[in-house]
């Protein structure tokens, strides 16, 4: 490609990026809910209303939350709900007429590794700030370090400047493909995908929280010998050794003991903490399920009524 053609192509890309930022910025807001540092959020359209999505960790208070709209109007927001395990929170703007120049974000879901993306922040009311890069990987489905279900963590070669958390990750059409967070993973430049945003936002609108089951046990992974596995009628090589039990927890009430080795819940094998969390689904809350154990080397089943983690 000749130098002139290359410059023309780069100039066209530069103009395209500027147009993307200008268009996407109509949905991006500033959020004041912690001392000294404001953060970013964006307008998200549900089946019933337009709300604000942001990162949970930027909300250090749940009342007196202020949102500055793209047209610089400062309005009060109400917390709909929050999910620390996926670092997502939803806000409502009661009685606010957004007007024609402030719109909900357009959404895109066909993100691929290698796509170019921008993370757009509005940490201050004077305008947006931008970082640009490529999607380096999409990891998942997986669970966060706090047990939250995430359809796929997006990693991009972008810089998360102060106040960018809660801002949208957008593609070159200006569509939101994720929500950026500096605390979702150990890498600062990661984002929640649209599938997670949609699922968790709908749950927060319905329940105000993401409901999760728990047993009330502290565990550590432990090996299972081939002989013990055969005796228990399982093929797995590991389970979870119970090392602590919370008083009055479901495990305590059901009579689990320290030293029990959990190898299954409701017919699902349990080999590690993720598989235990995966078995404690919201539809099992309040239900008695069979916990398969090795107790003193002997297989046994104990019914446990799953409670909700508060």
| Annotated active-site residue in 56, 87, 260, 307 | 87
Checking if the pLDDT of 1 tops 60, the result is no
What pLDDT does residue 188 have?
A: 80
Task: Name the 3-class secondary structure at 221.
Answer: strand
Give the C-alpha separation, 30 to 124, whole Å. 6
In the chain, pLDDT over 90 holds for what percent of residues? 73
Residues 77 and 125 in one domain: yes
Query: Would you place residue 3 in the very low, low, confident or very high pLDDT band (cuts 50, 70, 90)?
Result: low
Residues 149 and 282 in one domain: no
Assign residue 303 the CATH number of its domain: 2.30.42.10
What does the pLDDT average to over 232-237?
92
Query: Would you place residue 187 in the very low, low, confident or very high pLDDT band (cuts 50, 70, 90)?
Result: confident
Query: Would you place residue 241 in the very low, low, confident or very high pLDDT band (cuts 50, 70, 90)?
Result: very high
What does the pLDDT average to over 230-241?
92
CA atoms within 13 A on the CB side of 130: 17
207 is catalytic: no
Residues 81 and 59 in one domain: yes
* The model's pTM: 0.79
Q: Which residue is it, tokens 């100039």? A: 11
Nearest to 156 by CA among 115, 109, 107, 108: 115
| Annotated active-site residue in 25, 57, 83, 182 | 57
Residues 199 and 303 in one domain: no
Q: Last residue of some domain: 178, 210, 242?
A: 210
Q: Last residue of some domain: 210, 238, 271?
A: 210
165 is catalytic: yes
Give the C-alpha separation, 282 to 42, whole Å. 28
Assign residue 181 the CATH number of its domain: 2.40.10.120
Helices and strands (H, E) in the chain, number of each type: 5, 22
Domain residues for the domain of 68 are: 1-210
Query: Would you place residue 43 in the very low, low, confident or very high pLDDT band (cuts 50, 70, 90)?
Result: very high
Residues 229 and 193 in one domain: no
Q: Last residue of some domain: 161, 190, 210?
A: 210
Least confident stretch, 83-97, 138-152, 259-273: 138-152
- Name, in order, each residue with C-beta under 8 angstroms of 308's C-beta and a sequence gap of 6 or more: 211, 212, 213, 214, 285
Total number of domains in the chain: 2
Checking if the pLDDT of 255 tops 70, the result is yes
Residues 235 and 126 in one domain: no
Residues 146 and 233 in one domain: no
Give the C-alpha separation, 179 to 28, whole Å. 12
Checking if the pLDDT of 273 tops 70, the result is yes
Residues 90 and 195 in one domain: yes
Residues 224 and 235 in one domain: yes
Residues 201 and 284 in one domain: no
Residues 184 and 252 in one domain: no
Nearest to 216 by CA among 283, 288, 305: 305
Length of the chain measured in residues: 310
Nearest to 232 by CA among 157, 299, 281, 162: 299
For the chain, give percent helix, strand, coil, nearest 5: 20, 40, 40
Residues 170 and 287 in one domain: no
| Annotated active-site residue in 27, 131, 144, 165 | 165
């Amino acid at each position: 490609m000749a130098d002139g053609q290359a410059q023309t192509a780069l100039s066209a890309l530069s103009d395209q990026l500027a147009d993307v930022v200008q268009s996407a910025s109509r949905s991006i807001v500033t959020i004041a809910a912690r001392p000294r540092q404001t953060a970013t959020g964006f307008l998200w359209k549900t089946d019933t209303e337009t709300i604000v999505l942001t990162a949970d960790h930027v909300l250090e208070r749940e009342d007196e939350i202020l949102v500055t709209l793209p047209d610089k109007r400062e309005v009060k927001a109400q917390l709909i709900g929050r999910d620390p395990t996926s670092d997502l929170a939803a806000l409502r703007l009661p009685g606010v007429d957004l007007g024609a120049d402030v719109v909900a974000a357009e959404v895109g879901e066909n993100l691929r590794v290698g796509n170019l993306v921008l993370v757009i922040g509005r940490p201050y009311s004077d305008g947006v700030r931008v970082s640009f890069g490529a999607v380096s990987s999409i990891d998942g489905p997986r669970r966060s370090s706090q047990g939250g279900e995430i359809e796929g963590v997006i990693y991009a070669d972008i810089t998360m400047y102060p106040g960018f958390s809660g801002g949208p990750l957008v593609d070159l059409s200006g569509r939101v493909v994720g929500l950026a967070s500096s605390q979702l993973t150990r890498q600062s430049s990661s984002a929640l995908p649209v599938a997670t945003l949609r699922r968790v936002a709908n749950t927060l609108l319905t329940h105000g929280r993401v409901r999760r089951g728990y047993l009330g046990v502290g565990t550590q992974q432990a090996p299972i010998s081939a002989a013990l596995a055969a005796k228990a009628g399982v093929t797995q090589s590991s389970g979870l050794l119970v090392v602590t039990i919370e008083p009055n927890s479901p495990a305590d009430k059901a009579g689990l003991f320290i030293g029990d080795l959990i190898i299954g819940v409701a017919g699902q094998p349990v080999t590690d903490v993720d598989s235990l969390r995966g078995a404690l689904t919201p539809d099992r809350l309040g239900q008695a399920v069979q916990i398969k154990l090795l107790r003193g080397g002997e297989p046994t089943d104990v019914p446990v009524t799953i409670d909700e983690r508060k």
